[in-house]
Amino acid sequence: MISILGTTLVLGGLLAAAFGAVVGIEGGLRHRPNALKIVLGAVTVFLVCMLGANLTMVYALVTHDFSVHYVSQVGSRATPLVYTVVSLWSALEGSILFWGAILAVYVFAFSRAHRNHPPTNPLLALGTMLAVGVFFSFLIAGPANPFGRVTPVPPDGPGPNPLLQNHVLMVIHPPMLYLGYVGMVVPFGIAVAALLRGQLGDAWMAVLRRWTLIPWMFLSVGIVLGSWWAYAVLGWGGYWAWDPVENASFLPWLTATAFLHSAMVQERRHTLKLWTVSLSLGCFLLTILGTFMTRSGVFNSVHSFTQSEIGPTFLVFLGVVLLVSIILIAVRGPLLVPEGNLGSVASRETAILLNNLLFAALTFTVLLGTVFPLVREAFSGVRISVGAPYFNRMAVPLGVAILFLMGVGPSLPWGRASPETLRRQFLVPAAIGVGVVLVCLVAGLRGGLTLLTFGLGGFAGTVTLREMALPVRVRMREQGEPLPQALWRSATRARRRFGGYMVHLGVVLVFVAIAASQSYVVHTTATLKTGERFQLGPYTVQLTGLRNGVDPHRRWTAAEVQVTDGRGRQHLLAPRMNFYERSTDPIGSPAIRSAAFEDFYLTLLAFDQGTPSASFNAWIFPMVSWIWWSLPLFVLGALFAAWPERRRARADAPEPVSVPGKAQSPGAAA
């Protein structure tokens, strides 16, 4: 019953998407405005079918209906309810089904938001997005059908992957990533529409930017939560392993970030159009590639799912999307002629161009490093590894250069800067950057690259804060507004600017936190009998005993330790080893004592019930939690920037605050 219902819904979605895609693209190319109504209907049907199919699956999971193929794979009566619901996306077929639902929600939201636009653009964009919907509903209906019937019906199932039910972060991290991944389909649709029409106007560009910002935000959240999850669950003391799946989420984030910057140049200078649109296409291509990496079983990773049948289908889709993109860029791209030109060497345009170059190089490096083992094996049959040391060596200099540009770019005016402006703009931030390095040196901190990062962090942070504070000060001084009002007004009158700088502050924080936690980490291993203790930095660790426990879905052994920190406060920690029925090596749960400026991180390596004794890995990570605490800045900044401008502000004519490029010189716009 459930199987039939689910399959029917998926097929309905497939039909609706196919119909809407054909009508949309045909209507858009032939300029038939009344096609929009039909496409909007198709989008609604697609949404209803996809949401219905997902709810059907959740119902089957919660009621333990093991006659449904997917439930028999990931369900288990012993699994807690939360993880049962979450197992919707814990394995291959379910995650594709979930993809479909998010896709439908995005397409629907887009169709509602832009139905009042001149219809040609929305028609082409919706048609393209629905064409992607056709592929995904085809995957769900065919190669990755989760609704298959199982006979005889098994009494119970194995439960979801143990790694995925170890921490509550797993409940929110994957949906965030999916929202980021799938959301890139909207900019893709918009970009394809722009290329098909051979023009990209300002209004349509603003739409493209906003719809990139939203998935960008979700990707940021997904990536940061993913690293937090790795840190809190995997127990190796790190948060980023350059694992193929991590890289897969990082790649579209990089291109989307590059896009958000190059879009500013496109807006101010009406140039870089083809490049900007290509970045939009690239974001989507990389999310498809990323999904392929996670789902095909070709790549090896902590969380890649097992070998699967859908790989070849996915590869064909990837090939088709790549081909379409390339043809569009080659054939229609030259139509997007630049209507302006770039400024001089010392200008914000140049800084953003360099930023784009660095982001492109970083994207390429990460992509190359991820697929290179496959390249090597395909061409010479040798298995090699490209791991963290490679990525760090390549990415760290690029990252530091980006941090530097983050201070330089906002200080430079559009167009051209005189030497005097340069001096005025850079003197204080540069002095603060140098000051930070000196203070660190005096405090006894060493390490060239780390101190450089701190110094540049001080530099970029100062520039960002100054740029945020300047309009506030002008308002307070020249208009006599009180601080809160001045702050609020200057923020809301230039949402994108203010939001962007909030994100910049978050990025500075992440850079500093990564540098500190990587460079000044302290580590030791020790084996203790009950009552014995060891010392790491200011922390004293004493083993008080071993404790065993049984949960419905696992057994565990915890080492109970008493940790005394530098100020004499005592904390009870209990790093554990969990034994799941499905995995051979036990999976550790680290215990973390987190403070504002450092984390004490303890994992259980081995234990002996007889003696009793236990072996530990212990680390002190300075500032590591700042990486996760930067998250609100990313989210708030992105939301702030994406929030629609109020109508009133728009009616106030030429929108001086959010388009300073135009306001800066009436002569330039004439």
Partner 1 sequence: MTAWVLGLVLASYAPQQAGSALLDPAREARVQALGKQLRCPMCQGLSIADSSSSAARAQMDKVRELVADGKSDPEIRDYFTSRYGEWALLDPPASGMNLLVWLLPLALLVGGGFAIARTMRRPVPAAEAPAPPTEAERPPSDDPYLEAVRAELRR
Partner 2 sequence: MSRRGLWIGLSLAAVTAVLLFVLAKGFGRDPHEVPFQLRGKPAPDFTLRRMDTGAPVRLSELKGKPIVLNFWASWCGPCKAEHPVVTMAARRFGQDYQFFGVVFEDTEENARAFAGAPDPSFPQLIDERSRMAVDYGVTGVPETYFIDAQGILRDKVAYPIDPRTMMEKLAALKQPAGPLSEVVR
Binding site for partner 2 (CB under 8 A): 292, 296-301, 304, 307, 311-312, 315, 318-319, 322-323, 326-327, 329-331, 333-334, 371, 374-375, 377-378, 383, 584-586, 608, 610
Binding partner at 644 among partner 1, partner 2, none, C-beta below 5 to 8 Å by kind: none
Q: Residue 99 or 599: which CB sits closer to partner 1?
A: 599
Smallest separation (angstroms) from partner 1 to the CB of 364: 5
312 binds, among partner 1, partner 2, none (CB under 5 to 8 A by kind): partner 2
- The answer to whether residue 651 forms part of the interface with partner 1 (CB under 8 A) is no
Choose among partner 1, partner 2, none what residue 470 binds, the Cβ cut-off being 5 to 8 Å by kind.
partner 1
Minimum distance between the CB of residue 305 and partner 1, rounded to whole angstroms?
14
Q: Check if the beta carbon of residue 133 is closer than 8 Å to that of residue 17.
A: yes
H or E, element range at 539? strand 539-551
C-beta separation of 19 from 42 below 8 A: yes
> What is d(CA 589, CA 576) in angstroms, rounded to the nearest whole number?
5
- Note whether 657 binds partner 1 by CB under 8 A: yes
Which entry of partner 1, partner 2, none binds 385, CB below 5 to 8 A by partner kind?
partner 1
Is 198 among the residues that bind partner 1 (CB under 8 A)?
A: no
Binding test (CB under 8 A) with partner 1, winner from 548, 572, 632, 650? 548
- Of 70, 87, 69, the C-alpha closest to 78 is 87
SS3 384: coil
* Residue 374 near which of partner 1, partner 2, none (CB within 5-8 Å, type-dependent): partner 2
With CB under 5 to 8 Å by kind, the binding choice for 670 among partner 2, partner 1, none is partner 1
Q: Which is nearer to partner 2, 55 or 318 (CB)?
A: 318
Give the nearest distance from C-beta 385 to partner 2 in angstroms: 10
Which residue, 27 or 586, has its beta carbon nearer to partner 1? 586
SS3 524: strand
Q: Phi-psi bin for 410: left (phi > 0), alpha (psi -120 to 50), beta?
A: alpha
Closest CB to partner 2 among residues 289, 408? 289
Contact call for residues 21 and 134 (beta carbons, < 8 A): yes
Which residue's CB is nearer to partner 1, number 266 or number 603?
A: 603
How far apart CA 303 and CA 185 sit, in angstroms, is 24
Binding partner of 515, given partner 1, partner 2, none, CB within 5-8 angstroms per partner class: none
The one segment of 43-51, 429-437, 631-639, 653-661 that binds partner 1 by CB under 8 A: 653-661
Among 613, 629, 636, 639, binds partner 1 (CB under 8 A): 613
Note whether 162 binds partner 1 by CB under 8 A: no
Between 307 and 344, CB nearer to partner 2: 307
DSSP state of 446: -
Q: How far apart are the first and last CA of the chain?
A: 67
608 binds partner 1 (CB under 8 A): yes
**Which of the choices partner 2, partner 1, none does residue 329 contact, using the CB cut-off of 5 to 8 A by kind?**
partner 2
Q: Whole-angstrom Cα distance, residue 186 to residue 319?
A: 19
- The span of 66-74, 167-175, 218-226, 365-373 binding partner 1 (CB under 8 A) equals 365-373
Residue 640, phi then psi, degrees to nearest 5: -60, -45
Quote the CA–CA distance of 234 and 228 in Å, as a whole number.
10
Spatial contact of 493 and 658, defined as CB atoms under 8 Å apart? yes
DSSP for 547-596, written as a single string: EEEEETTEEEEEEEEEEE-TTS-EEEE--EEEE-TT-SS-EEE-EEEE-S
C-alpha distance from residue 326 to each of 285, 411, 531 (Å) = 11, 36, 67
Integer angstrom CA distances of residue 255 from 244, 509, 543? 17, 21, 48
Segment contacting partner 1 by CB under 8 A, of 22-30, 192-200, 414-422, 503-511: 414-422
SS3 (DSSP) at 261 = helix
Tokens representing 285 are 């291509």
* Whole-angstrom distance, CA of residue 456 vs CA of residue 515: 12
Contact 251, 363 (CB under 8 A): yes
Residues 130, 189 contacting (CB under 8 angstroms)? no
Q: How far is CA 33 from CA 17, 38, 125, in A?
A: 19, 10, 14
Chain position carrying tokens 């209907």: 41
Cβ of residue 330: shortest distance to partner 2, in angstroms? 3
Report the C-alpha gap between 383 and 18 in whole angstroms.
42
Smallest distance, partner 1 to C-beta of residue 588, A: 6
Q: Site residues for partner 1, window 366-395 (CB under 8 A)?
A: 368-369, 372, 375-376, 379-380, 382-390, 393-394
**Shortest spacing between CB 334 and partner 2, in angstroms:** 5
Site mask for partner 1 (CB under 8 A), range 296-335, x = bound:
----xxx---------------------------------
Region 224-263 residues binding partner 1, contact defined as CB under 8 A: 235-238, 241-244
Per-residue binder mask for partner 1 (CB under 8 A), 462-481, x = binder: --------xx--xx--xx--
Residue 365 is a binding residue for partner 1 (CB under 8 A): yes
Contact 402, 359 (CB under 8 A): yes
Query: Which residue lies nearer to partner 2 by CB, 41 or 311?
Result: 311
> 3-state class of 544 per DSSP?
strand
Please identify which residue in 83, 501, 601, 607 interacts with partner 1, judged by CB under 8 A: 607
Q: Of the two residues 596 and 651, which places its CB atom closer to partner 1 in the complex?
A: 651
Count of residues near partner 1 by CB under 8 A: 95
> 485 is in the binding site of which of partner 1, partner 2, none (Cβ under 5 to 8 A by kind)?
none
Please write down the HEC assignment for all residues of 163-175. HHHCCCHHHHHHH
Q: How far is the CB of 506 from partner 1 (least distance, A)?
A: 21
The entry of partner 2, partner 1, none near residue 555 (CB within 5 to 8 angstroms by kind) is: partner 1
Backbone angles phi, psi at 578, to 5 degrees: -105, 140
Task: Count Cα atoms within 13 angstroms, Cβ side, for 604.
Answer: 26
Task: Identify residue 452 by its one-letter amino acid code.
Answer: L
- Residue 617 binds which entry of partner 1, partner 2, none, with Cβ cut-offs from 5 to 8 Å by kind? partner 1
Asked if 343 interacts with partner 1 (CB under 8 A), we say yes
**What's the min distance (Å) between Cβ of 339 and partner 1?**
5
